[in-house]
Amino acid sequence: MKKSIDLINERVRDGNARVVTADAMPGIVAELGEEEALREVDVVTTGTFGAMCSSGAFFNFGHAEPPIRMERIWLNDVEAYGGLAAVDTYIGATQQSTTREDQYGGAHVIEDFIAGKSVELRAMSRGTDCYPRRTITTDLLLEHLNQAIMCNPRNAYQRYNAAINTTDRMLHTYMGMLLPNSGNITFSGAGGLNPISNDPKLHMIGNGVPIFLGGAQGMVIGEGTQSSPAGGFGTLMVSGNMKEMSQDYVRAATMQGYGVTLYLGVGIPIPVVDLDVVRSTAVRDEDITVDLLDYGVPSRSRPVVRKVNYAQLRSGLVEVNGEEVRTSSLSSYRKAKEVAETLKVWVEQGKVNLVLPTRPISPETRVMPMHESVHGPRVLDIMDKRVISVGETEEIRAAAQKLLKGETNHLPVINNSGLLVGIVTTYDISKAVANPGKATLVRDIMKKKVVTTTPDEPVDIAVQKLERHNISAMPVVDREMHVVAMLTAINLGKLIGGRWLK
């Protein structure tokens, strides 16, 4: 059996349609069976409410007298794009204020407009024959704009990998605050309520489909940026009229140490036209699995600590290496349900005309990493291969002499097998000489916890290590812990004026 979209719209018009939220669907299918569920249910509404960084809005301000062709534009000191000619602009949610840093950004401008607050526009131009004006400053309300169209390149992630931190340092990430030593887990997304999770093959979600966006009726423009539905990480590009939105579903936020983002409510009604839709909307939290990634590794490919599903994440505790670790959702499940329920009411009231995609989105797309034609500098490009080291059983005096000769302030300490076991600095030696005590050998005064790097490590990561530990040099080691070179602050100078910064 199949149901046409026309039949579903007809039932909606007649007030006979059965509309349910996605979290109710697994129960209905379990109770009635798939065939009966198809006959019974006409529309499943989905919803999610969470941080959607890749969001923003187009504004048209209307022409001033005399007119200006805005080239640089700020809204409450947040820079907006000035390349759209005359009085159009696009403001991105994560753009930060030039005066208030991460406490205010594009997301706040969007929320303030929707909340009915006044926003200051400042713009500059070089002045042309047709647009003579060079500067403008004016206070604007949303109603003063001709158009305010939210247009988000990448929203409604199908699911998102969870985060943990195995290092001994607190991390501040876009996945929120990650406590040291696997102290907590954070995750995002509404699991079985998530729009694309209810239609992973993108049968019913495609270009032109009506949606709930920030409290307004919006629509799917098409495939979202970075969309990867083939791997289970589809995204959507969506738009909606900001003038119809509500602050209840559009909230600016700051992830401490990461920056500004926008929390947004997105929901999609899925017409139940065939058994495929019945099956895909019967998805449960426990069916949706993600990787738990270690954000302690600052790389594109972070190690997977374990697999975990949304039911486990939402339970509050997840086991990691035999220990129960507490979880935090970054997105709001309550709000996600509210989105799905509001959308349900809209559909029931006949406010939403359901349509099939005017053009399908390919479910085969897979995201590619960046093609880098020039690789960023690595430690081996700038490290100093002349290593002066000292044996752990040598006398402190010997170390002092090496430091004097070697024009270095750091001596890696090696054991009999030539492996790194510690480090001594000029400071350690002076201290030992100034306060002669029992210590006579290098190993008595060396620091045993050595921060190291490897030849392959990107310089940016090595620099982060130096800064974080407040040190000016570290040994470069191979896999076996042989010291192959030193990296010092002086080597970093090679980057400046070198080929990397051209």
Partner 1 sequence: MKLLVNFSKKAGQKPIIAQVVKDTGVLINVERAIIDSSEGEALIDIPDDTCRIVKEKLADLGATVRVLEHGIILDETECVDCGACVSVCPHEVFYLDEHWVIRLREGRCVLCGRCIDACPHHALYQKDEA
53 is catalytic: no
Return the number of the residue (51 or 136) whose C-beta is nearest partner 1: 51
Residue 177 vs 379, nearer CB to partner 1: 177
- Rounded-to-integer distance, Cα 166 and Cα 302, Å: 11
Query: Residues 14, 16, 126, 130: which is the catalytic one?
Result: 130
The alpha carbon of 242 is separated from its chain's Cα centroid by a whole number of angstroms, namely 23
Q: Which member of 48, 327, 365, 491 binds partner 1 (CB under 8 A)? A: 327
Return the residues of window 303-322 that contact partner 1 according to CB under 8 A. Answer: 316
CB of 165 to partner 1, least distance (A): 12
Which of residues 326 and 468 has its CB atom nearest to partner 1 in the complex? 326
**Of 193 and 462, which CB lies nearer to partner 1 in the complex structure?**
193
Residue 86 vs 311, nearer CB to partner 1: 311
For residues 373 and 182, what is the distance between their CA atoms, to the nearest angstrom? Answer: 36
CA within 13 Å, CB half, 370: 7
Cα dihedral sign for 308, 313, 314, 317?
A: positive
Enumerate residues 137-196 that contact partner 1 by CB under 8 A.
172, 176-177, 179, 183-186
The least CB distance from residue 310 to partner 1, in Å, is: 13
Q: In angstroms, what is the minimal distance from the CB of 327 to partner 1?
A: 6
Q: CA 55 to CA 189: how far, in whole Å?
A: 16
492 SS3 class:
helix
Q: Min. distance of Cβ 227 from partner 1 in angstroms?
A: 24
Supply 75's token pair.
């809204």
Single residue of 125, 227, 329, 425 touching partner 1 by CB under 8 A = 329
| Nearer CB in complex with partner 1: 251/443 | 251
- For the four alpha carbons of 474, 477, 480 and 484, in that order, the dihedral sign comes to negative
Span 64-83, contacts to partner 1 by CB under 8 A:
none
13-24 burial, b at 16+ Cβ within 10 Å, e below that, comes to eeeebebbbbbe
Provide the residue count of the chain: 502
CA 229 from centroid of its chain's CA atoms: 17
Closest-CA residue to 133 (of 143, 120, 144, 122) = 122
SS3 letters for 230-276?
HHCECCEEEEEEHHHCCCCCEEEEEECCCEEEEEEEEECEEECCCHH
Minimum CB distance to partner 1 smaller for 51 or for 57: 51
Question: Which parts of 36-55 interact with partner 1 (CB under 8 A)?
Answer: 49-51
Min separation Cβ 57 and partner 1, Å: 20
The sheet with strand 410-414 has its strands ordered as 390-391, 410-414, 420-425
Two structure tokens written together for 326: 């507490």
Q: Among the candidate windows 134-142, 291-299, 323-331, 342-350, which touches partner 1 by CB under 8 A?
A: 323-331
Q: What CA–CA distance (Å, rounded) separates 216 from 134?
A: 36
**Maximum Cα–Cα distance across the chain:** 95
Task: By CB under 8 A, name the one of 154, 159, 251, 443 that touches partner 1.
Answer: 251
Q: Where are the alpha helices (DSSP H) in 356-458?
A: 379-382, 396-406, 426-434, 442-445
Q: Which stretch binds partner 1 (CB under 8 A): 248-256, 289-297, 436-444, 460-468?
A: 248-256
**Binders of partner 1 among 11-40, rule CB under 8 A?**
none
Q: Coil, strand, or helix at residue 187?
A: strand
Comparing C-alpha atoms, which of 217, 173, 493, 179 is closest to residue 326? Answer: 179
x-marked contacts with partner 1 along 256-295 as a string, rule CB under 8 A:
x----x-x--------------------------------
Q: Which is nearer to partner 1, 334 or 479 (CB)?
A: 334
| Shortest Å distance, C-beta 324 to partner 1 | 11
Residue 325, CA atoms < 13 Å, CB-side half-sphere: 27
Q: Quick one: which of 217, 332, 401, 409 contacts partner 1 (CB under 8 A)?
A: 332
Among 337, 344, 378, 410, binds partner 1 (CB under 8 A): 337
Least separation in angstroms between CB 335 and partner 1: 6
Radius of gyration in angstroms for the set of CA atoms belonging to the chain, rounded to a whole number: 29
Tell which positions 340-369 bind partner 1, by CB under 8 A: none
Which one among 133, 154, 159, 335 touches partner 1, defined by CB under 8 A? 335
Nearer to partner 1, 49 or 233 (CB): 49
Residues 438 and 456: their CA atoms lie apart, in Å, by: 40
Of 176 and 206, nearer to partner 1 (C-beta) is 176
Q: In whole angstroms, how close is the CB of 242 to partner 1 at the nearest point? A: 19
| Per-residue b or e along 27-42, where b marks 16 or more CB atoms closer than 10 Å to that residue's CB | ebbeeeeeeebbebbb
Position 346, amino acid: W
Residue 33: what residue type? G
List 94, 227, 328, 491, residue binding partner 1 (CB under 8 A): 328
Interface map 423-462 toward partner 1 (x if CB under 8 A): ----------------------------------------
State the DSSP code for 70.
Answer: -
CB of 450 to partner 1, least distance (A): 28
Footprint of partner 1 on this chain (CB under 8 A)? 49-51, 172, 176-177, 179, 183-186, 251, 253-256, 261, 263, 316, 325-335, 337
Catalytic residues: 130
